[in-house]
Structure formats: structure tokens, C-alpha cells
Structure 1
Amino acid sequence: MKIAMLFPGYGSQFVGMGKSLYDESRIMQEHFEQASTCLDMNFVKLCFASSELDIAKMSVAFPAIYLMSSSIYSILREDEGIVPDVVVGYNIGEFSAIYASGGISFVDGLYVVSKYASFYGELLSGLNVSLIKVSGLSSGILKEICEQYSTNDAFASIAIYLNEQENIVSGYCAVVEQVEAAVKERAGKVENLGVEFGLHNSIMKPVADSVKQYLEKVDFKDTDIKFLSSTELDVTKSGQSLKAAILEYITSPLKWRQTLDALDFYDMIIEVGPGTTLSKSIKELYPEKHFISINSQKDIDEVLKIVAGEEREI
């Protein structure tokens, strides 16, 4: 059985995420202890006893999502022996996927995610930028609208290609507002999003430059598990390619629908991380495939049951 594991991004976090697994798993408890010590943050309190407002803060959400996803992955692999054939991350989930591939240690990945959140926060403090989700217009038409109102100094662009009729646009507020008005004139729908989802364009170059300097201190390894980039749509096992993928992720649009199309080869898709934010798109695209979001031991048991059943058939 060919298994793909997907790691969710910003927006998947919620207070209480993974609590039942934490109570039962020594691996997850150890990861929480490590993360709390390394970043001097009480992740038990933040994840299980804070507020939705607190956990949504970029400085908390980014490392917390990484912590939760990486811990669940470690349970699947180390306790249950479930090893994927490919790993994919949506948005900030790219960092969890790189850890799962074996390209970076848990602690190094934690520090990288935290540094990214810090550098990004510093950039935002001096910018007037925004994000919107646009529905009801093709990506081609939306791209033309963005280009129509953009200049070299102020622009908007598609940050995340969700599917042919849904995309996320980021850029300078004045230009995004013009794009929003043009979309509504064409009967499209607009939803305002937080900047935490990422700009994924050249505005992020200062962040990428800072992250690049930090990555020189990080030991990236070649991997046994394939990592699928959602920006370049390349599959790699090279440690140096993983480092490059992080920088591409920061400054380039995410081609999420094309990334999901590349999973057609796999028999089971597992969402490894808090919540079920990726489930709708996966089930719509692949209704015939085994798909499970891991949030409890019951979900893990279901994965084991399916894998065991497939092995018996073989």
C-alpha cells in the first residue's frame, strides 16, 4: 500500500488539539517538554488551556502546529511502524513534512519555524499588506485582475492556488482592495484572511534572506522518504534541495491543487496534524481513496486496520 502523509498549515490550530493523544503518548509528552524548554514557552498551557486568540498568534501557532504534527507523525512511525512513501505540507505544514522526511531533526525544525515566525512578524510591523480568499473566478482571470492593478512598487498576486475556482491573493492593501472590488464586479466572492497564512511573493524576500542566514547553521540530511514541494512540485530526497524548498516556500506561490493532483498514485492519504482542515478538498478530489485525519488513538487504530486489511489481501 502506497501512503502519502499531508501536514496542515496555519488555521488548523485550536485549543485542546491533540489532548487525548498527549495524555496517552510518551513520545508526544517528550516532544512537548523539548519544545517548551527550547523556546521557553509552556506548550501544554498554550495548546490545552489558553484561548483561541492566544493560540492564533503567529509566534505561538507556527511552532505549535509544527509540534503537534511532528509529534503525531512520530507516534505513527515509532510506535505503530507506519512509514509514508511521500510527505507533503500545506502552508506552514511544509516544515513538519521536512521533519517527517528525515531531512531535519525535530529540534532544528522547531527553531527554524520559530525563527520564520519572528522574522515574518518583524516584516509585517512595517508593512500595510493583506490577504483575501477569492471564490467564483478562474485562476487565470484572477491573475489578470491582479496584474491590471499592480505596479512595480505596489502589487497583488495569487499566493495560494487552492483550485480552479478558489485562490488566495496577497499584496499591498491598496492594490488588494482594488482587486477585491474588481472580483465583486464579476460576481466573485471575497473572504478576508489573516496575514498569518503567508504572503508567498517577493514582499517576503527580507524574511527569506534572514531565514537563509539561519539555515546555514542547520544540518540538513538526505532522506529515505520523498518530500513533495508545493511550490516547485518536485519530489526530492536531497538535504540541500530541502533547504532550497524552504526559501522557495517563503517567496513563491503555493500550487496546492497541483500538489494534490500528484497524489493520485497513492492508495491512502493521512492528514497528520490538528483538526481536519484538509479533509474536504482531499475527499472531493479522491472519494475512492482511504483518507483519515489523525486526532486520536481511534484514528490511528483505523489506519492500522486498513493497512492490515490491505496486507491480508496481498
Structure 2
Amino acid sequence: MKAYVFPGQGSQFTGMGKDLYEQHTEAKRLFDKANDILGFNITDIMFTGTEEELKRTRVTQPAIFLHSVAQAAVAKDFNPDMVAGHSLGEFSALVASKVLSFEDGLKLVYKRALAMQMACEANPSTMAAILGLEDDKVVEICASIEDEIVVAANFNCPGQLVISGSNRGIEIACEKMKAAGAKRALPLPVGGAFHSPLMKPAEVELAQAIKDTTFSDGICPVYQNVDARPHTDPQEIRQNLIKQLTAPVLWTQSVQQMVADGATHFVECGPGKVLQGLVKKIDRTAEVSSAE
């Protein structure tokens, strides 16, 4: 069985999507439509913008979404048995599996990006990657830090977690993780504490937009970040998407569940190969490739 997976923030690069735009009429149509919906030429930034321009949340999120959805739209034999997306990638997965329309998906992603940007500015906060420590130990250390918000935010693969929280909390946590035997505890160059309670203002803002958006029956189950379970009911998918901004991304658990449910081949749709690497670390027997 084939699982199509869609990357999140961090996989952007200058020139992303240019080949799709030049080689496929359908991709060009989606790119041009995105420029109209967003009210600025995101394609110019994607194709020729600097790394710094692409790193801005209001650009990064719609750019990765656009690249991913366009790649799925032109992929040969796109007929997924299941889909999943990492954080932002969940929106791409929902559009590719026909739960959301392209227009609605893009509008939600842009609103999400702006809401997250505002939440970051209101509460200076950050994230850090913790390598070489058991998941349970990372969770335990986060819970032990008093008077600061620190949580496990991304369960990327065994031995690679990302924690999220206040600047001081992350500083304390990194010291404690190293003392507990972590190979590395690296603060990440991000604008805020994504997938933590500090994103509550963004969640509230996005919740109304999600409630006002039409969710349809998709073409296959979507394995969602908040519970790593397959979902086909539009109402359940909607509720899980609202919780996603403040809840951890259960990527390890999602891939394990997809494998348990019969996935043997994971196809990554979008810029980069980050998810292929994570899938192989979660299950060495899984076959991985990029969408063509």
C-alpha cells in the first residue's frame, strides 16, 4: 500500500517549484491562482527570493504548501491508500486527498501563518532539537521544569525530538537534556514555540476560519498529527486540525500506525527529502521515494 506524505516548515529552498511551474500546465495554473488569492507574487519569492525572504513564516508556509500540492496534482498515478503531513504538511495532505479545496487550503495556511507570526511576536519563545535521548526521558525532563512552559512538540523519529517553549524554559531544558545524556540539544532558528500552549492565541484565531471552511469526504484516510490515527469523517478531521497548533506532532507514531495498517511505500510530495529520512529511521523496511 502507498502512503503519500507532505513536509512541513524547514524544507524550503530558493528555486523551489520552478521546474513544476515550467513543465506542467496544471502546476502553473495553481501557482498563478495562488498569486491571485494571496495578493502578492509568492512565485517570485519561491523562484528567485533569498533564503532570508523564504524563511518568513508568512511566505514559508504557503510556499511549501503550494509546492507540495502542485507536485501531488501532477504526480504520475496519484492514487494514495493513505496520506499524512508533518505539521503544516497536514494541510497539503488534506487538499491532495480532496478533503479541502485548493483555494480553501491555501487561505487557511496563510491565515495560520499570520496567526502564528502574531503569537510569536506576543510571546517570545523558541524550539530546540534533542538528539539521542529516549522519548519518555525528554517528556519527563520537560515536565520537571517549573515556572516555565516547555513541552515535547515534534516526535520526529526515535531519538529525535523537538521541544518547544519559553526562551528561558528551552535554555534550562537543553542543559538538563545534555546532563541526562542527550548527544545534542540544539536551539533552532525559529520564530516561536510551535505546537505548544504558547500558540493558543493562534489556535483561537484559526479555529473560527476552520469552522467556516467546507470539509468533504476525502479519497482515503488521513493520519492526523494530534492522535496518529486514520480519519475519514470530515467533522473529526476539522476538530483535530483545530487542536494541531498547540498539540505535539506525533510523526513517529503516525508512520508506525500507517505501517501497521499496511503501508509499504512512502512517497514524499513537496520540497526536500526530510520525511523520507525520518520514515527510514522509524521503519527500515519501508520503501521511500519522492513523487514524480
Aligned residues: 289
Whether the aligned pair in 1 keeps the contact of 2:158 and 2:281 (CA below 8 Å) is no
1:59-117 deviation per Cα after TM superposition (whole angstroms, max 9, x unaligned):
000001110101111112xxx33210101001210110111121110010000000001
Percent identity of paired positions between Structure 1 and Structure 2: 26
| Counterpart amino acid of residue 171 in structure 1 | G
Corresponding residue for residue 277 of structure 2: 280
Q: CA deviation at 1:198?
A: 5.4
**177, 198, 206: which one pairs with 2:171?**
177
Shifted more, 65-74 versus 280-289: the winner is 280-289
Distance 1:149 1:8 in 2: 31
Distance apart, 1:262 and its partner CA: 1.6
The alignment status of 1:137 with 2:136, answered yes or no, reads no
Tell me which moved more, 23-32 or 121-130. 121-130
Unaligned segments of structure 2, at least 5 residues: none
Which of 65, 90, 94 pairs up with 2:90?
Answer: 94
2:197 counterpart residue number: 202
Seen in structure 2, the aligned counterparts of structure 1 residues 263 and 194 have a Cα distance that, compared at 3 Å, is: same
Which residue does 1:63 correspond to in 2?
62
Larger Rg: 1
1:105 maps to: 101
With structure 2 as the length reference, what TM-score do the two structures score? 0.94
Contact 1:131 1:169 in 2 (8 A): yes
Cα shift at 1:138:
1.1
Q: How large is the Cα RMSD of the aligned pairs?
A: 1.5
Cα deviation per residue 1:18-69 (whole Å; 9 max; x = unaligned)?
Answer: 3222211001100011100010121221111111111111000000111010
Farther-moved stretch of structure 1 (119-128 vs 276-285):
276-285
Quote the Cα distance in structure 1 between the aligned partners of 2:251 and 2:193: 14
Contact 1:200 1:254 in 2 (8 A): yes
Q: Which runs of 5+ in 1 are unaligned?
A: 295-299, 301-314
Offset, 1:223: 1.6
SS of 2:245's equivalent in the other structure is helix
The residue number in structure 2 matching 1:308 is none
- Write the deviation string for residues 123-178 of structure 1: whole angstroms up to 9, x where unpaired: 11121211000112112112221111133xx3201011123322111111111111
1:213 CA drift (Å): 1.1
Distance 1:192 1:94, change over 3 A: same
Once the two structures are superposed, the pairs formed by residues 140-151 of structure 1 within 5 Å of their partners are 140-151=136-147
Letter in 1 for 2:64: I
Determine if contact 2:126/2:192 at 8 Å carries over to the other structure: no
Post-superposition offset of 1:267 = 2.7
Shift of 1:197: 7.8
